Amino acid sequence: MDIIFYHPTFDTQYWLKALLTALPGARVREWKRGDNQPADYALVWHPPVEMLQGRDLKAVFALGAGVDSILSKLKAHPDMLADNIPLFRLEDTGMGEQMQEYAVSQVLHWFRRFDDYQALKQQARWEPLTDYQREDFTIGILGAGVLGSKVAEALAPWGFPLRCWSRTRKDYPGITSFAGADELSPFLQGTRVLINLLPNTAETVGIINRGLLNQLADNSYVMNLARGVHLVEADLLKALESGKLKGAMLDVYSKEPLPPESPLWAHPRVAMTPHVAAVTRPAEAVSYIARTITHLEQGESVTGRVDRQRGY
Ligand SMILES: NC(=O)c1ccc[n+]([C@@H]2O[C@H](COP(=O)([O-])OP(=O)(O)OC[C@H]3O[C@@H](n4cnc5c(N)ncnc54)[C@H](O)[C@@H]3O)[C@@H](O)[C@H]2O)c1
Ligand SMILES: O=C(O)[C@H](O)CO
């Protein structure tokens, strides 16, 4: 079995070695321009079109959770990957735990009013504030898939009212499930902390806009952990100014790296990280991919296949 690997920034040598260890007998090579030799599987992130074009592969693995960038490249170059070649993505592989850490720590930061105390400290003001109550702190998670459900699971023991919104109804213990476009408004009403973990698709681009933000509870918070295109940044800034929103925690942006002129940098109630909420953990990813390839080779069923029509 031949495997080709391409990632613009990862430590390729580490991956090649780890893949060889996990799949003894496989031939694994870094793909370089001009390499047209046959391959069975391709592991990629932001691949050049020529890497995949015309290849008769058994499967392609995206080396991340989101497949928006490869699907948009496929749209521009439909001959890059034949329709019958399955595209897989990483399911969790350590990203769930990272999202849990991120979301829980930020929710508690807001709930315990550390944002307010930070602002008071800057003015050298000693001022105990009224506690927030859990029942006024409903958390709504947009997207209840692999990562959204992990975040919900980690928040559940803290006792906040929890709800999620997804395409189809979920049956997660202790979490109210809202499903489909018709239930988006009821999901938003009463939500105090909105956490976004949707995939980037034609249906979800720009979903966190003025109309959506206006439906949240007053003094709400927004955490965007999915993709920058989900959020209309100008609408977020207006909602912060109007007082509708109390704060935002952003990991992803309409343009990355975020340009220096973006007003988000200087906004006192916007906290930011540079698209690091959950990164690919090589060891977990390699064992996931190796396991999936082994199942595919044995004709067994696997999960993680992207529905290219649906867009995730
Ligand atoms: N910031 C980061 O570091 C980082 C890291 C990993 C993943 N991500 C992002 O997180 C996203 C989610 O990852 P995942 O593994 O949980 O994906 P997933 O496919 O397992 O879950 C997606 C969820 O969104 C819901 N959904 C999709 N379209 C919908 C629609 N139109 N209406 C209602 N619900 C809809 C699905 O029902 C599902 O519950 C990824 O696509 C990626 O963009 C970001
Ligand atoms: O989708 C992912 O895996 C991360 O956001 C990295 O882009």
User: Taking a C-beta distance cutoff of 8 angstroms, is the pair 262, 253 a contact?
Assistant: yes
Measured from the Cα of 69, ligand 2's closest atom is 7
Ligand 2 atom closest to the CA of 64, numbered from 1? 3
Ligand 1 mean position to 101 CA, how many Å?
Answer: 17
10 Å Cβ neighbour count for 194? 26
**Which pLDDT does position 100 carry in this prediction?**
99
Q: Identify the CA nearest to 198 among candidates 147, 274, 233, 248.
A: 147
The residue ranges of the chain whose pLDDT is under 50 are: none
Active-site residue 210, yes or no? Answer: no
- DSSP sequence for 66-80: --HHHHHHHHH-GGG
Catalytic residue among 227, 230, 269, 291: 227
pLDDT at 255: 98
Beta bridge partners of 103: none
What is the per-residue pLDDT for 104?
99
Rounded to the nearest angstrom, the distance between the alpha carbon of 149 and the centre of ligand 1 is: 10
Q: What is the predicted pLDDT for the residue at 190?
A: 96
Q: What is the pLDDT of residue 6?
A: 98
- pLDDT at residue 211, as a whole number: 98
Catalytic residue flag (residue 227): yes
Tell the residue nearest (CA) to atom 5 of ligand 2.
Answer: 66
DSSP 140-193: EEE--SHHHHHHHHHHGGGT--EEEEESS----TT-EEEESGGGHHHHHTT-SE
Rounded-to-integer distance, Cα 298 and Cα 296, Å: 5
CA of 312 to the centre of ligand 1 (A): 8
Confidence (pTM): 0.98
pLDDT for 75: 96
Ligand 1: list residues with CB < 6 Å.
Answer: 65-66, 95, 143-148, 165-167, 197-201, 203-204, 225-227, 251-252, 275, 277-278, 312
